[in-house]
Structure 1
Amino acid sequence: MTFARTARTRRARDPFRLAIATSRVAKISPALLALAIFLLVALLFTGLLTLPIAAADGRATVLHDAMFTAFSAVTVTGLVSVDTAEHWSFFGELVILLGIQIGGLGIITIALLLSRAVTRSFGVQVRIFAQQGIGASKLGEVQSLLRIVILTTLVLEGVLALVLIPRFIIVEGSFLRGTWDGIFYAVSAFNNAGFAPNPGGIMAYDGDLWITIPVMVGVFVGSLGFPVFLVLMMSRHHWRTWSLHAKLTLTTTTVFLVLGALTWMVLEWSNTDTIGGMTVGEKIYHALFASTMMRSGGFSLTDYGESSPVTLLVTDALMFVGGGSASTAGGIKVTTIAILFLAIVAEAKGDKNVMIFGRTIPQGALRVAISVTFLGATLVLVATGLIMLVSDAPLDRILFEVISAFATCGLSVGLTEELHPAGLYVLTALMFAGRIGPIGLASALAVRRRNLLFRYPDERPVIG
């Protein structure tokens, strides 16, 4: 009896010990807590996808395919090693959809929710972490902004689903199937996931503007980020009252969208395997759709495996940049590349400070931008080398797939479906690192600041 009581007492205390441990980690290292939570969520969905009920044929899916799909969903990437519509059952597609939804909210939101549930409050470190991650301008705004993030996500997804469902019901000829496809595409598009529940994916609806335009709009809006949503809701069209982040994000995103569409259209204009045989209007629309998806959308109306090497290279660059900070898009983010470009311009002009829109960008922001870019380039370089060891595919195809995985974009030349399991594990790790890397690094650098009591003499090394 005494032993049984002791065992029950220990089991009763376990949740409290876990809560205390989680509380301590949240106070000491919110970035580490977010990383651990995100990893556990991805592993949980991996386990669910290995269940026989998750596969259409009723047999357990091999680990590397289940893990790759689960991590692709939770990191809102969209790369697949097995066909989503043919391999997975309704339960499997439901697991994927839940993974996209949870992953779309982001590691910052998940960490904040757990921290709130366990500690009943947000510590200073957690608030600073959230301030960097989801764009709160003041530490006191974290809790209210957290509600806005969740509510905005659900509302925008709901509106997108209401637009898509009627058309899918007509196309599919089934109310249930049409409703499911509409909801799935709405969640997948807004979260920049790129997953499709139907055979052939979005290509099956090429030319159907009722479907492709809302999907394109959903991807574009989702790539802007919650800090931009907040500014637009509060200031609307009053440009002067917008934050610097909102101005940089919208300006840079628009520039990349237009330049990407023009470049892609010119390079593929005569390619009969993609848009060469289309009318001028169709070419323009496909170019705009392709450029939008390079933000991290992952949907494609053409086969990228048939694109020219130059087109793949341009797409690599745009995918690497990605979308807005604190958004569902991946990449190093448009604000990062904007700050680097402005720094180059300032250096070329001989200006001491980096200035734009009547504001001066702090040197600390430039250091973070350089760190994020260097981290991203290093991850891509290492992953490309590892994939080359297990694949005989050309370098341009490998690089395309690697950057798509890092940027959680989801565009593919079909390499993942034929890749060795070792290569899939490399891309799985890269998708995870790409999703938490830039955000986690920027947040961690914002939280960790040392005030040194000394300073060495200046000395400028030879550069260039």
Structure 2
Amino acid sequence: MSNLVFDESSSNRETSRGLAWWFSGNTFAQAASEDTRPRKRTFLQHLISHPGRLTIIYFMALVVIATGMLLLPPSTPKGETTTFSTALFTAVSALSTCGISIVNSTTHWTLFGQAVLLVSVQMGGLGVMTFASLITLAINHHLKATQRLLTASELGTSKLNEIKGVLTVVIATTLLIESVTFVALSPGLMKVNGGDWEKSLWEALFFAVMSYNNAGFTPDGAGLHVNSWAVGMPIMLSAFCGTLGFPVLLNLMRCAKGHVPPRRWSLHTKIALSMTFIIVAVSLAWFLLVEWDNPFLFKDADLDSRLRHAVVAAVMPRSSGFDLSWVPQVSEPTKVFMSFIMFVGGGSTSTAGGIRVTTFAVILLICRASFTGHKDINVFRRRLHTDVAMTAVSITTTCLMLVLASSVALMLVSGSTLTNALFDSCSAFGLGGYTVGVAREDNPAALAVLAITMVVGRLGPMTIAYSISRPRSPEAVRYPEETVVVG
């Protein structure tokens, strides 16, 4: 099967009604017989035949390159030095689009250093799997069956013959949203910077890439510019679009083009949008009720400023990490609440992290079905497959164990409280970009723990599991059932 080439020519597609990849003669039988013959395979062929492993190697190679570039003298001003642990952590934070910064991005990095961060975030935001697939296309001029299946899962499409088109649309959509954000930001930043167009254009480009990719690095130390809606609103809207995920954006664009009403949107889009707006609404209510008297979050007493800061606090902590000044000053219950929001994260295959809003929605639907005595998991007049439920439970359990292990490790190496350790662990895993002081430049052990958590949060447990073990054939023997008492 490793040499399988899909015949998707227009003539063959007409005769097979779009199933050319399936009706390709005895290609599968020939490939199976060839696989039984012992043959020598090059190192490159081994990588291409195992896309999960290729993805991790690709990500690690980018980490090495970015770390080396951040250690170069042009990356820092004269008199400034960057330790290896700081450069490594910053590179991982940028490539994972987490955005946790342990140094001042404005004063510690030069324009060259900021450009390294910008390119790293862009490479990570487009998706490790997307770039791995493009590398495979460039090398082999086509995608192998295993690569197509994993990329289909990553990009949220089930049709194998759509993969190449989806990859193109993903890149085009990313560049389009970033370009629109750049244009929208330029006038507001010109006003903020007093007409300095060179500085304004660079900051507009920097914010455009960082906001859509949900990374919290800033070029000027001012954060989100929450007091200037001309700057803060485009950043917030771009970050919100980035958290929706490519499947939702593609479905919305196709439905808008075809004038499809919301009731005919895909089930994934309905669940993702519903859960996203519910989480934002709950977050807005939380910050208004619990943090109403917090002077660090609401510096002005008027209602307009409170609502403006509350909206930013409700939208951005899910994955963006802009405007960090108020975060360490929130109450302990709010730290726990924000940890939960960052653990859930954004949409599937988005620039955000976490277990994803659709995974959390499926968990809630499973609980509803169990408590109401239903065997089927139904939502929006559709029934979810059992495999979806099992995947949601396994992802949530695995990621919860990872966050707990990371929190305990941070408590041991930094001496921080459980609340602070949990907050930084969820921020690293959910790519939130926030820190309450656990991530410090003078504590390499804590940085190492958080860096590992960010890598897992970016690549995802399913990609890592795929790289370790290939999918196996169905069970040949099914054992008899027996009940176990739970609860």
Same-fold call, TM cutoff 0.5: yes
1:446 to partner: Cα distance: 12
- Alignment partner of 1:88: what SS? coil
1-structure distance, mates of 2:215, 2:245 = 15
Cα 1:229–1:302 shift into 2, 3 Å:
same
Structure with greater proportional helix content:
1
Matched with 2:211 is 189
- Alignment partner of 1:416: what SS? coil
Give the one of 337, 353, 368 matched to 2:391.
Answer: 368
Matched with 2:334 is 311
Matched with 1:5 is none
Cα 1:442–1:298 shift into 2, 3 Å:
farther
2-structure distance, mates of 1:293, 1:364 = 32
CA contact (8 A) 1:23 1:119 kept: no
Matched with 2:187 is 166
1-structure distance, mates of 2:363, 2:470 = 22
Confirm or deny that 1:152 pairs with 2:173.
yes
CA contact (8 A) 1:128 1:447 kept: no
- Alignment partner of 1:86: what SS? coil
- Alignment partner of 1:201: what SS? coil
Matched with 2:422 is 399
Matched with 1:409 is 432
Give the one of 96, 100, 107 matched to 2:117.
Answer: 96
What amino acid is the match of 2:163?
V
- Alignment partner of 1:360: what SS? strand
Matched with 2:288 is 265
Cα 1:403–1:419 shift into 2, 3 Å:
farther
Matched with 2:13 is none
What are the within-5 Å matches in structure 2 for residues 220-235 of structure 1?
220-235=240-255
Matched with 2:130 is 109
Give the one of 156, 163, 178 matched to 1:135.
Answer: 156
Cα 1:213–1:382 shift into 2, 3 Å:
same
What amino acid is the match of 1:414?
G
1-structure distance, mates of 2:470, 2:235 = 36
The C-alpha deviation readout for 1:51-88, integer Å capped at 9, x for no partner, is 11111226551100001111100000010111111100
- Alignment partner of 1:84: what SS? coil
CA contact (8 A) 2:440 2:447 kept: no
Give the one of 314, 317, 323 matched to 1:291.
Answer: 314
Cα 1:449–1:253 shift into 2, 3 Å:
farther
Cα 1:333–1:306 shift into 2, 3 Å:
same
Deviates more, 1:72-81 or 1:392-401: 392-401
The CA RMSD measured in Å over matched residues stands at 1.9
Matched with 2:232 is 212
Matched with 2:223 is 201
Matched with 1:74 is 95
1:120 to partner: Cα distance: 1.1
The C-alpha deviation readout for 1:69-112, integer Å capped at 9, x for no partner, is 11100000010111111100111000000000000001110110
- Alignment partner of 2:383: what SS? strand
Matched with 2:106 is 85
TM-score (norm: length of structure 2):
0.87
- Alignment partner of 1:91: what SS? helix
1:277 to partner: Cα distance: 4.5
2-structure distance, mates of 1:292, 1:217 = 9
Cα 1:337–1:193 shift into 2, 3 Å:
same
1:26 to partner: Cα distance: 2.3
CA contact (8 A) 1:53 1:59 kept: no
Deviates more, 1:174-183 or 1:235-244: 235-244
CA contact (8 A) 1:129 1:446 kept: no
Matched with 1:126 is 147
Matched with 2:15 is none
- Alignment partner of 1:355: what SS? strand
- Alignment partner of 2:435: what SS? coil
Cα 1:323–1:416 shift into 2, 3 Å:
same
CA contact (8 A) 1:81 1:417 kept: yes
1-structure distance, mates of 2:463, 2:65 = 21
CA contact (8 A) 1:185 1:196 kept: yes
2-structure distance, mates of 1:167, 1:91 = 24
CA contact (8 A) 1:130 1:142 kept: yes
Structure 1: 5+ residue stretches without partners: 1-18
CA contact (8 A) 1:57 1:87 kept: no
Cα 1:447–1:288 shift into 2, 3 Å:
farther
1:459 to partner: Cα distance: 0.8
Q: Which portions of structure 1, spanning 4 or more consecutive aligned residues, are displaced by more than 3 angstroms?
A: 441-447
1-structure distance, mates of 2:243, 2:112 = 28
Aligned residue pairs: how many?
A: 443
Give the one of 6, 17, 23 matched to 2:45.
Answer: 23
CA contact (8 A) 1:78 1:408 kept: yes
CA contact (8 A) 2:294 2:330 kept: yes
Matched with 1:48 is 69
CA contact (8 A) 2:152 2:158 kept: yes
- Alignment partner of 2:127: what SS? helix
1:416 to partner: Cα distance: 1.9
Matched with 1:453 is 476
CA contact (8 A) 1:322 1:331 kept: yes
Confirm or deny that 1:346 pairs with 2:401.
no
Cα 1:284–1:184 shift into 2, 3 Å:
same
Matched with 1:9 is none
Cα 1:301–1:67 shift into 2, 3 Å:
closer
Deviates more, 1:268-277 or 1:314-323: 268-277
Matched with 1:300 is 323
1:453 to partner: Cα distance: 1.9
1:122 to partner: Cα distance: 0.4
**Taking every aligned residue pair, what percent have the same amino acid on both sides?**
35
What amino acid is the match of 2:250?
L
1:392 to partner: Cα distance: 2.5
2-structure distance, mates of 1:46, 1:454 = 49
The C-alpha deviation readout for 1:308-347, integer Å capped at 9, x for no partner, is 0011111111110000001000100000000000000001
Matched with 1:385 is 408
What amino acid is the match of 1:161?
F
- Alignment partner of 2:248: what SS? helix
Confirm or deny that 1:57 pairs with 2:78.
yes
1:423 to partner: Cα distance: 0.8
1:199 to partner: Cα distance: 2.4
Cα 1:435–1:446 shift into 2, 3 Å:
same
Cα 1:433–1:228 shift into 2, 3 Å:
same
1-structure distance, mates of 2:143, 2:75 = 37
Confirm or deny that 1:462 pairs with 2:485.
yes
Give the one of 236, 239, 250 matched to 2:273.
Answer: 250
CA contact (8 A) 2:406 2:453 kept: yes
